[in-house]
């Protein structure tokens, strides 16, 4: 850790919102409990709500308790964490709205501004920070997705942010990249010799990437109704997963080397034409039903009026390069689906010729590599095996060669980290990996 890169204050915009309360503040507490936060780091929550420092601390305590359950909050760690916590009410939408932050941040030389806000505020916050003299050369800014609704709005936002912060000070967060299992994809692909010769269109038939959620949109609809599943999940999380599966080996693990390989994959994606969109995509929206034995409302009921935003989307995408030509990638994601599952399934081709006859010929199935990211972390390679027995006709059955990360790495003191913990730590240390 380079001492001079360590941030000294983290200003959390949208501090009373869902993301900050459910993920960001608990992540900071856990980092602190593990002794990973710089000693001098202060955390300043800010939002439009007028509340006292004590009320903010109490709300944060509740959020931390909920996240830590069933384990209790570590009181010593909490005392350390709460001493860092401050709150300043400020209206990011007004030109002079951020003046109020000055006193809380003025002594910091390496502030981080984390925008857990609607992207429509990104430009005004950056200008406000500049006007208040807070966007110094050491300041970092963290942006949550989606950065715009389309190319035009995305460019406009990036330009506004870029006028205030240089590119190396801008951190665009995708929390999927902080997940242990997502990081493990790199280890699996590039730390094992036998996948690489098979990792191409000679051997792989297709790839399926699924992010199924049982949760509905609920009170997040004001945000969700503007973006939908395609912008909320596909253009960020799912394309990151696709890039990790499809990219060439990077020269090393430095941010630029990895990014270069990912960008090459994205550039090779065959663009959808209008005609393709009808053939290669499906959009849907959940209606009322039963999930996990509970009756749940339709999206339109949560929203309070009809809407044509999609809560489910499935796409077939093609990567036009030597490695992947002819291998479809099927991406699908949705809310209020019957089970929660994030999974990457690599479906291999059938053997070129079957020597098996009779029933065994029909038993023969192509191999699959199934990488479960959530809720359980599991990697299974499905292989064909002879079913035991003395019968005259040989029978085959698929059996998994299994790497259960849950069992291998569980045990006392092992906690499944929130993906944001790693990302926050990276930003605090000044690493854009
Ligand atoms: C967020 C989306 O980025 O990711 C949410 O905005 C979604 O709509 C969430 O529920 C899923 O994340 P995870 O880590 O639970 O798979």
Q: Are residues 136 and 241 in the same domain?
A: no
CA atoms of 194 and 182, how far apart (whole Å):
20
Which residues are within 8 A (CB) of 130 and not within 5 positions of it... i.e. 6 or more apart? 164
Task: List pocket residues of ligand 1, CB cut-off 6 Å.
Answer: 213, 232, 342, 374
CA atoms of 209 and 315, how far apart (whole Å):
10
Task: Specify the pairing of strand 312-317 against strand 281-284.
Answer: antiparallel
Q: Sorting pLDDT into bands at 50, 70 and 90, what band is 2?
A: very low
Which residues are within 8 A (CB) of 297 and not within 5 positions of it... i.e. 6 or more apart? 216, 288
Eight-state DSSP code of residue 349: P
Which residues are within 8 A (CB) of 187 and not within 5 positions of it... i.e. 6 or more apart? none
Contact indicator for 310, 230 with CB cutoff of 8 Å: yes
Q: Are residues 34 and 132 in the same domain?
A: yes
The pLDDT, as a whole number, for residue 346 is 98
Q: Are residues 123 and 223 in the same domain?
A: no
Contact indicator for 74, 33 with CB cutoff of 8 Å: yes
- Whichever domain contains 149, its CATH number is 3.40.50.720
Q: Are residues 200 and 132 in the same domain?
A: no
Q: Are residues 155 and 207 in the same domain?
A: no
Q: What is the mean predicted confidence (pLDDT) over 93-114?
A: 86
Whether residue 359 has pLDDT greater than 60: yes
Look at ligand 1, atom 15, and give the residue with the nearest C-alpha: 213
Sign of the four-CA dihedral 74, 79, 80, 85 = positive
Q: Which domain holds residue 279?
A: 178-284+310-402
Q: Are residues 151 and 221 in the same domain?
A: no
Contact indicator for 205, 347 with CB cutoff of 8 Å: yes
How far away, in angstroms, is 320 Cα from ligand 1 center?
Answer: 29
Is position 298 within any domain?
Answer: no
The residues carrying an active-site annotation are 237
Whether residue 261 has pLDDT greater than 90: yes
Q: Are residues 201 and 275 in the same domain?
A: yes
Whether residue 1 has pLDDT greater than 50: no
The pLDDT, as a whole number, for residue 192 is 95
What percent of the chain has pLDDT above 90?
A: 78
CA 66 from chain center: how many Å?
21
Provide the domain count of the chain.
Answer: 2
Among 271-275, 345-349, 394-398, the least confident range: 271-275
Is position 199 within any domain?
Answer: yes
- Average pLDDT of the chain is 93
How far away, in angstroms, is 277 Cα from ligand 1 center?
Answer: 24
Q: What is the mean predicted confidence (pLDDT) over 98-125?
A: 90
Is position 297 within any domain?
Answer: no
How far away, in angstroms, is 171 Cα from ligand 1 center?
Answer: 19
Q: Are residues 114 and 245 in the same domain?
A: no
Q: Are residues 230 and 166 in the same domain?
A: no
Is position 154 within any domain?
Answer: yes
CA atoms of 243 and 261, how far apart (whole Å):
8
- Condensed to tens digits (0 to 9), the pLDDT of residues 210-241 reads 999 999 999 989 989 999 999 999 999 999 99
Which of 98, 124, 82 shows the shortest CA–CA distance to 46?
Answer: 98
The pLDDT, as a whole number, for residue 411 is 67
What three-state secondary structure class fits 183?
helix
Is position 299 within any domain?
Answer: no
CA atoms of 283 and 358, how far apart (whole Å):
42
Pocket test for ligand 1, best of 22, 175, 178, 342 (most atoms within 8 A of CB): 175
Is position 127 within any domain?
Answer: yes
Ligand 1 atom nearest residue 223's Cα:
6
Pocket test for ligand 1, best of 237, 336, 374 (most atoms within 8 A of CB): 237
Is position 206 within any domain?
Answer: yes
- The CA-to-CA distance between both ends of the chain, in Å, stands at 14
Ligand 1 atom nearest residue 220's Cα:
8
Q: Are residues 168 and 182 in the same domain?
A: no
Q: Are residues 233 and 357 in the same domain?
A: yes
Q: Are residues 264 and 354 in the same domain?
A: yes
Put simply, whether the predicted model's pTM sits higher than 0.85 gets the answer yes
Ligand 1 atom nearest residue 145's Cα:
3
The pLDDT, as a whole number, for residue 257 is 93
Task: Specify the pairing of strand 396-404 against strand 378-386.
Answer: antiparallel
Q: What is the mean predicted confidence (pLDDT) over 352-374?
A: 94
Among 18-27, 64-73, 310-319, 410-419, the least confident range: 410-419
241 CB neighbour count, 10 Å cutoff: 26
The pLDDT, as a whole number, for residue 412 is 59
- Condensed to tens digits (0 to 9), the pLDDT of residues 278-301 reads 999 999 999 999 988 899 999 999
Eight-state DSSP code of residue 417: P
Task: Specify the pairing of strand 294-296 against strand 396-404.
Answer: unpaired
- Condensed to tens digits (0 to 9), the pLDDT of residues 392-401 reads 789 999 999 9
How far away, in angstroms, is 328 Cα from ligand 1 center?
Answer: 25
Contact indicator for 378, 406 with CB cutoff of 8 Å: yes
CA 92 from chain center: how many Å?
26
Whether residue 263 has pLDDT greater than 80: yes
Is position 408 within any domain?
Answer: no
Q: Provide the Cα torsion 189, 208, 342, 268; round to 10°.
A: 60
Which residues are within 8 A (CB) of 330 and not within 5 positions of it... i.e. 6 or more apart? 206, 207, 208, 209, 314, 315, 316
Please state the φ and ψ torsions of residue 66, each to the nearest 5 degrees.
Answer: -60, -40
Whether residue 3 has pLDDT greater than 70: no
Whether residue 255 has pLDDT greater than 60: yes
How far away, in angstroms, is 176 Cα from ligand 1 center?
Answer: 9
Contact indicator for 19, 223 with CB cutoff of 8 Å: no
Whether residue 403 has pLDDT greater than 90: no
Ligand 1 atom nearest residue 176's Cα:
14
The pLDDT, as a whole number, for residue 47 is 95
- Whichever domain contains 339, its CATH number is 3.30.360.10
């Amino acid at each position: 850790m380079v001492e001079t890169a360590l941030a000294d204050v983290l200003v959390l915009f949208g501090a009373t919102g869902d993301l900050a309360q459910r993920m960001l503040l608990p992540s900071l507490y856990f980092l602190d409990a593990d002794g990973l936060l710089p000693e001098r780091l202060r955390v300043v929550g800010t939002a439009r709500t007028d509340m006292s420092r004590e009320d903010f601390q109490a709300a944060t305590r509740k959020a931390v308790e909920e996240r830590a359950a069933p384990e209790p909050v570590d009181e010593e760690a909490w005392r350390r964490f709460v001493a860092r916590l401050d709150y300043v009410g400020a209206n990011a939408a007004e030109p002079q709205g951020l003046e109020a932050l000055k006193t809380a941040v003025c002594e910091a030389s390496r502030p981080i501004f984390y925008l857990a806000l609607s992207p429509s505020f990104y430009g005004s916050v950056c200008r406000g920070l500049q006007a208040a003299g807070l966007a110094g050369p050491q300041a970092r800014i963290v942006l949550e997705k989606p950065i715009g609704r389309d190319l035009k709005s995305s460019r406009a936002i990036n330009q506004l942010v870029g006028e205030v912060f240089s590119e190396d000070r801008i951190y665009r967060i995708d929390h999927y990249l902080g997940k242990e299992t997502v990081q493990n994809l790199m280890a699996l692909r590039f730390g094992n010799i036998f996948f690489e010769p098979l990792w191409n269109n000679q051997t792989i038939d297709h790839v399926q990437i699924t992010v199924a959620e049982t949760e509905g949109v609920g009170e997040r609809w004001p945000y969700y109704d503007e973006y939908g599943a395609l912008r909320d999940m596909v253009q960020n999380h799912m394309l990151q997963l696709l890039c990790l599966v499809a990219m060439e080996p990077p020269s090393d693990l430095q941010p630029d080397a990895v990014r270069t390989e990912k960008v090459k994959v994205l550039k090779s994606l065959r663009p959808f034409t209008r005609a393709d969109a009808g053939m290669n995509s499906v959009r849907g929206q959940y209606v009322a039903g039963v999930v996990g034995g509970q009756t749940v409302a339709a999206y339109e009921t949560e929203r309070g009026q009809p809407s044509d935003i999609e809560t489910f989307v499935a796409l077939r995408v093609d990567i036009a390069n030597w490695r992947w030509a002819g291998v479809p990638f099927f991406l699908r994601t949705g809310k209020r689906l019957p089970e929660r599952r994030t999974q990457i399934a690599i479906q291999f081709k059938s053997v070129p010729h079957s020597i098996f006859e009779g029933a065994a010929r029909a038993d023969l199935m192509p191999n699959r590599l199934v990488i479960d990211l959530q809720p359980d972390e599991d990697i299974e390679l499905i292989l064909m095996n002879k079913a035991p027995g003395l019968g005259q006709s040989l029978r085959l059955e698929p059996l998994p060669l299994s790497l259960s990360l849950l069992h291998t790495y569980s045990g006392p003191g092992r906690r499944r980290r929130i993906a944001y913990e790693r990302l926050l730590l990276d930003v605090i240390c000044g690493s854009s990996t």
